[in-house]
């Protein structure tokens, strides 16, 4: 049974209160504020009734202390004085729920105590629901983040697998040619493996970056690091093409551009995300086409545009596509790819924007600071 604690420096009042409540409520008493605080600390108290005029610690001061350390406990102030300023002080400082005058009326007192107990039970239930919701949210978020990690790793892992198949095949061909004495042809085959090995290195680095991104310590961005975006774009395009079924026309256009500030593996991840999203967007189009263009922007800027002729993004969704866990895909997608891409770009002083028309296509523009 929940407990009501009555605090009064007059022991006669305490005796009367206990006798009055016997058989109706579970009660405890204390003769000082300090004693009441010790009881509050030691056990659960649903309702605190405190006499205002007590030595050393007034009822308002006790209610104020209780409100800070035990906010769910319902606080009621009792006094023989009708000073309005004390009532206002009690409400403002001690956040009391009711203000009673001595001598109390039994029926009024019982009604207030019952209402206070109901309030306490409601507060306790709400607190339990909040804790339950927080625990549920943590589990859900953990599941979403885990799914996001798996989603982010899927593309580089597929590229690694496909690339390894190509490498094995070329090595087998080169070995056969070498056995037949065609050393020059074998050497050419082995040289042709270099782009695939570059792709494998990029995929491996991408997975390492993804894993580091979920470590407790944040990724440290080197503000002076530079990279060649032509290499980044071409490598990302090769990586995506290696896992593409060939049903889409992917065009790559690269101008001569200065180096940009950023890590090539992290920026490569952004390009891969944008290309994969573009390829998924055109999957239901009769003549699918995706274009990636690297060009010089305004002075001091380098721009990468990824353009598709896919389904487009509805106007009401465009403002949210960069929000974490928001996805426009009905059956797949975790809503992390674009959010992570935008963060990577902004970390190096760049920007990632989009233009889209429903049923006509989408253009993502990546703008980076040039050397």
The CATH code of the domain that includes 22 is 3.40.50.2300
For 13-56, write each residue's pLDDT tens digit: 899 989 989 888 999 999 999 999 999 999 999 999 998 888 88
User: Is 190 inside any structural domain?
Assistant: no
- Count of C-beta atoms within a 10 Å radius of residue 187: 13
pLDDT at residue 240, as a whole number = 77
Q: Please report whether residue 217 resides in a domain.
A: no
Cα of first residue to Cα of last residue in the chain, in angstroms, is 72
Nearest to 163 by CA among 191, 208, 193: 193
| Shared-domain flag, residues 91 and 228 | no
Where a domain ends, among 40, 73, 104? 104
In a domain, 114, yes or no: no
Q: Could you tell me if residue 122 is inside a domain?
A: no
**pLDDT given at position 327:** 61
pLDDT digits over 151-208, tens only?
Answer: 666 666 676 777 777 777 777 777 777 777 777 777 777 777 766 666 677 767 666 6
Report yes or no on 332 lying in a domain.
Answer: yes
Residue 7, strand partner residues? 30, 50
Please tell me the predicted confidence (pLDDT) of residue 365.
95
Does 171 fall in a domain? Answer: no
pLDDT value, residue 36? 92
Mark whether 365 and 230 lie in a shared domain. Answer: yes
Report if residue 93 sits inside a domain: yes
Q: Which domain holds residue 37?
A: 3-104
Query: Would you tell me the crossing angle of helices 337-347 and 264-281 to the nearest 10 degrees?
Result: 150
Kindly give the parts of the chain with pLDDT less than 70.
1, 81-94, 129-157, 159, 194-199, 203, 205-221, 242-247, 324-336
And the tokens for 130? 């909040």
Of 104, 123, 139, the residue that ends a domain is: 104
Domains in the chain, number:
2
The alpha carbon dihedral of 176, 177, 179, 180 has a sign of: positive
Question: Residue 81 has what pLDDT?
Answer: 59
pTM summary value: 0.46
Q: What's the CA gap between 306 and 308, in Å, rounded?
A: 7
pLDDT for position 218: 45
Of 104, 128, 154, at which residue does a domain stop?
Answer: 104
Assess if residue 185 is contained within a domain.
no
CATH of the domain at 313: 3.30.565.10
- Here the tokens at position 82 are 């009708």
Question: Do 362 and 229 belong together in one domain?
Answer: yes
């Amino acid at each position: 049974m929940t407990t009501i604690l009555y605090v009064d420096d007059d022991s006669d009042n305490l005796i009367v209160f206990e006798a009055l409540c016997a058989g109706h409520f579970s009660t405890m008493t204390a003769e000082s504020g300090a004693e009441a605080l010790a009881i509050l600390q030691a056990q659960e108290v649903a309702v605190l009734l405190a006499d205002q005029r007590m030595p050393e610690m007034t009822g308002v001061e006790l209610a104020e202390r209780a409100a800070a350390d035990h906010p769910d406990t319902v606080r009621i102030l009792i006094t023989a004085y009708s000073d309005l300023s004390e009532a206002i002080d009690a409400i403002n400082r001690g956040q009391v729920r009711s203000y009673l005058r001595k001598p109390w009326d039994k029926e009024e007192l019982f009604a207030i105590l019952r209402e206070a107990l109901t309030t306490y039970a409601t507060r306790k239930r709400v607190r339990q629901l909040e804790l339950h919701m927080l625990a549920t949210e943590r589990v859900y978020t953990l599941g979403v983040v885990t799914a996001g990690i798996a989603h982010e790793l899927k593309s580089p892992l597929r590229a690694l697998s496909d690339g390894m198949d190509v490498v094995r095949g070329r090595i087998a061909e080169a070995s056969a040619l070498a056995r037949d004495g065609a050393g020059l042809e074998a050497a050419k085959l082995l040289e042709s493996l270099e782009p695939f090995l570059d792709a494998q290195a990029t995929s491996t680095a991408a997975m390492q970056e993804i894993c580091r991104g979920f470590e407790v310590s944040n990724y440290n961005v080197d503000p002076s690091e530079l990279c060649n975006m032509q290499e980044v774009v071409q490598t990302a395009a090769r990586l995506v093409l290696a896992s593409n079924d060939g049903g889409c026309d992917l065009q790559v256009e690269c101008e001569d551009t200065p180096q940009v500030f950023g890590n090539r593996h992290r920026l490569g991840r952004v390009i891969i995300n944008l290309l994969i999203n573009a390829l998924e967007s055109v999957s239901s189009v009769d003549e699918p086409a995706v274009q990636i263009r690297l060009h010089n922007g305004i002075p001091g800027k380098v721009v990468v545009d990824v353009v598709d002729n896919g389904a487009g993004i509805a106007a009401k969704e465009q403002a949210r596509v960069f929000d974490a866990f928001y996805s426009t895909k009905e059956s797949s997608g975790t809503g992390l790819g674009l959010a992570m891409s935008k963060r990577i770009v902004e970390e190096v002083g760049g920007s990632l924007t989009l233009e889209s028309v429903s049923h006509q296509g989408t253009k993502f523009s990546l703008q980076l600071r040039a050397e």
